[in-house]
Amino acid sequence: MNDVKDGPQPAEDMTTPKTHDRTSEANRETLDFIQVTPENTSLEALSPSEIAALFSESQNQIHVLLKRCVLAVLNSGHENDDVKTMLEKYSDFDVEVIRSAGGIALNLKAAPKQAFVVYEYLEPTGPVYRYKIIDGIRQNIFSVLRDLVFIKTEVERSGKYDVTSPTGITDAVFLILRNAGIFRKTGRHKIIVCWGGHAISREEYEYTKRVGYECGLRFMDVITGCGPGAMKGPMKGATIAHSKQRYCEGRYVGITEPGIIASEAPNPIVDPLVIMPDIEKRLEAFIRLGHGIVIFPGGAGTAEELMYLLGVLSHRKNRDVPIPVILTGPASSAPYFKRLNAFVRNTLGQEVASRYQIIIDDPARVAQVMNRGLLKVKAARERLSDSYYFNRSLYIPPIFQEPFTPSHDSVDGLVVEPAAEPYLYAATVRRVFSAVVWGNVKPEGISAIAERGPLAIQGSRRAMDEIDGLIQSFIEQGRMRLVGKYAPVYKML
């Protein structure tokens, strides 16, 4: 894709040749060519200059990014974290942005058939098949384009914001969320962040639905990382509860970033979808948007999120900032939380561990405790004259905002050992888990591990034993991969 191209605007569907019979049509996995337009999305008002600016520089890099994100959205509902296999299966897939009479459109080549609804028409010469993209997938595709356009034109290239300063980074997070329409219910909603793994047991998944249901009955909206497993379950439960309550304004916000979206494709319930530039801004968006946080069982990614959260909350400036945090799962998950709790206490200390509660096998109590906590959050925001929709009173130390790009070289520069302040120790441990996630599920990380071998993590013996012990417990419980046998991507020095 060399630039945004001009082109005709055909009907948004595809007709297959009439010679295709039902059997051959049923066996098709991709569509040769189809054009998708931004109907019922936020991009009807996007100017041609904004689209052109997206591709004016680093064209190949942007094309790869857009192609990966769009392919992930088209695979929505396909719960498979084997990124390499997915990219190989759809190696012929491509996407092209064009100008058309109605504004812009996307030409998709060799797109996964599962993202479309097929309509069969019988004619004298044989059956004709037409395809229409599922509307939720269409909206999420253009959410990807919307966010990439905004990030490139307004955040990175405009020079309006200093994204190397703490204030500038927070402003960038705020503006990306505002541009995505996340603040349309300002001051009237209760919203909880749900974290947890994509590789969880069926019992754990059903439990996440029950928690989402109980929270939904209490008119809470849900934010997750937008993938399957513990990210999908709470949304699914909340949709049913909201329907029972005739609550028509429920939101199921999915926040992701380009590096993770391929392995955690947005689940079908996500509405709206937001793409953040990197994992640090994604994490900041979670804790500034959410009023409370529920953590389900997960693997290294969930451990990274927990270390980030506890690191921020352990800073002395946040001592009196109320954010209810609940770790929960079914009875079968009790050993998982016992091990995770021991890790936090041994690593960050008892005082840091006191910032969360563990509730086992009681979804109603989770929702009740969370609701009481949200009332305290609202009272505190009113007392501080802070907005209810974006928590600016929360102090995020710069070390948690600085982008950390995992690689063999950057991991070589990490030394994991206790620090004078718990938040500094948590920041380093968070980066270790981020590197493990990178090597485990991100395409560039998987390729780097295959080429250069495991990441070498170094630090004090106690720190190494704690981290390795926790990750090994994740491996034994099958929490590191959905598909295939997990091979460790690190070694401890």
For the cut 80, the answer to whether the pLDDT of residue 51 exceeds it is no
Task: Choose one of 156, 178, 200: the last residue of a domain.
Answer: 156
Average model confidence (pLDDT) for the chain?
86
Q: How many CB atoms lie within 10 A of CB 300?
A: 27
For the cut 60, the answer to whether the pLDDT of residue 410 exceeds it is yes
- φ, ψ of residue 19 to 5 degrees: the values are -80, -15
Instruction: Give the position of tokens 């969370």.
Output: 370
More confidently predicted of 56 and 267: 267
In terms of phi and psi (left: phi > 0; alpha: psi -120 to 50; beta: otherwise), the region of 82 is beta
pLDDT digits (tens, 9 = 90+) for 172-194: 999 999 988 898 765 567 999 99
Q: Once rounded to an integer, what is the mean pLDDT over residues 341-345?
A: 96
- φ, ψ of residue 189 to 5 degrees: the values are -120, 160
Q: How far apart are CA 351 and CA 335, in angstroms?
A: 22
Tokens, residue 66 = 């857009």
CA dihedral sign, ordered 321, 353, 229, 470: positive
Instruction: Give the position of tokens 């069926």.
Output: 202
Which DSSP helix (H) or strand (E) runs through 303? helix 300-313
- pLDDT interval class at 10 (50, 70, 90): very low
pLDDT at 4: 45
For the cut 70, the answer to whether the pLDDT of residue 482 exceeds it is no
Q: Is residue 92 part of a domain?
A: yes
pLDDT at 9: 43
The reply to whether 96 and 240 lie within a common domain is: no
pLDDT at 129: 83
For the cut 60, the answer to whether the pLDDT of residue 54 exceeds it is no
For the cut 60, the answer to whether the pLDDT of residue 86 exceeds it is yes
- 417 Cβ partners below 8 Å, 6+ apart? 425, 459, 460, 463
Q: How far apart are CA 142 and CA 197, in angstroms?
A: 26
Q: How many CA atoms lie within 13 A of 388 on its CB side?
A: 17
The reply to whether 406 and 455 lie within a common domain is: yes
Which value, in Å, is the radius of gyration of the alpha carbons in the chain?
23
Q: How far apart are CA 175 and CA 489, in angstroms?
A: 36
Task: Choose one of 115, 136, 156: the last residue of a domain.
Answer: 156
Q: Once rounded to an integer, what is the mean pLDDT over residues 78-93?
A: 75
Tokens, residue 182 = 């996340």
Kindly report the CATH number assigned to the domain that includes residue 55. Answer: 3.30.1850.10
- pLDDT interval class at 202 (50, 70, 90): very high
Q: How far apart are CA 356 and CA 489, in angstroms?
A: 30
CB 369 within 8 A of CB 215: no
Q: How far apart are CA 478 and CA 298, in angstroms?
A: 10
Q: Is residue 215 part of a domain?
A: yes
For the cut 70, the answer to whether the pLDDT of residue 42 exceeds it is no
For the cut 70, the answer to whether the pLDDT of residue 44 exceeds it is no
For the cut 50, the answer to whether the pLDDT of residue 58 exceeds it is no
The reply to whether 481 and 377 lie within a common domain is: no
Tokens, residue 358 = 């563990």
For the cut 50, the answer to whether the pLDDT of residue 6 exceeds it is no
Q: How far apart are CA 239 and CA 251, in angstroms?
A: 9
Q: Is residue 161 part of a domain?
A: no
Q: Is residue 97 part of a domain?
A: yes
For the cut 60, the answer to whether the pLDDT of residue 13 exceeds it is no
Kindly report the CATH number assigned to the domain that includes residue 319. Answer: 3.40.50.450
The reply to whether 224 and 287 lie within a common domain is: yes
Q: How far apart are the first and last CA of the chain?
A: 44
- pLDDT interval class at 57 (50, 70, 90): very low
β-bridge mates for residue 221, sequence order? 191
The reply to whether 124 and 217 lie within a common domain is: no
Q: Is residue 227 part of a domain?
A: yes
| Number of folded domains that form the chain | 3
- Give helix then strand counts, H and E, for the chain: 19, 16
The reply to whether 276 and 321 lie within a common domain is: yes
Q: Is residue 272 part of a domain?
A: yes
Q: Is residue 87 part of a domain?
A: yes
The reply to whether 261 and 306 lie within a common domain is: yes
The reply to whether 88 and 184 lie within a common domain is: no
Residue 107 C-alpha from the chain's centroid: 25
Tokens, residue 328 = 């929960």
The reply to whether 412 and 380 lie within a common domain is: no
The reply to whether 421 and 350 lie within a common domain is: no
Q: Once rounded to an integer, what is the mean pLDDT over residues 294-306?
A: 95
Containing domain of residue 252, as a range? 166-398
pLDDT digits (tens, 9 = 90+) for 364-407: 999 999 999 999 999 998 888 888 889 999 999 999 999 999 99
pLDDT digits (tens, 9 = 90+) for 210-262: 999 999 999 999 999 988 899 999 999 999 999 999 998 889 999 999 888 87
- pLDDT interval class at 3 (50, 70, 90): very low
pLDDT at 185: 67
Q: How far apart are CA 140 and CA 269, in angstroms?
A: 11
The reply to whether 366 and 420 lie within a common domain is: no
pLDDT digits (tens, 9 = 90+) for 135-175: 999 999 988 888 887 887 778 766 777 888 999 999 999 99
What is the percent of the chain where pLDDT is above 90?
A: 51
Instruction: Give the position of tokens 């054009």.
Output: 35
**Planar angle of CA 461, 466, 472, nearest 5 degrees:** 120
For the cut 60, the answer to whether the pLDDT of residue 308 exceeds it is yes
Question: Which of 432, 492, 490 lies closest to 301 in space, CA to CA?
Answer: 432
pLDDT at 1: 41
Tokens, residue 122 = 């019988």
Q: How far apart are CA 319 and CA 303, in angstroms?
A: 22
Q: Is residue 434 part of a domain?
A: yes
pLDDT digits (tens, 9 = 90+) for 99-142: 766 567 889 999 999 899 988 888 887 788 888 999 999 999 98
More confidently predicted of 447 and 78: 447
Strand duo 220-224 + 190-195: pairing:
parallel
Q: Once rounded to an integer, what is the mean pLDDT over residues 484-489?
A: 76
Tokens, residue 157 = 């290239």
The reply to whether 63 and 175 lie within a common domain is: no
CB 161 within 8 A of CB 151: no
CB 261 within 8 A of CB 69: yes
Q: How far apart are CA 344 and CA 426, in angstroms?
A: 9
Tell me whether the omega of the peptide bond preceding residue 272 falls within 30 degrees of 0, making it cis. yes
- 382 Cβ partners below 8 Å, 6+ apart? none
Task: Choose one of 365, 380, 398: the last residue of a domain.
Answer: 398
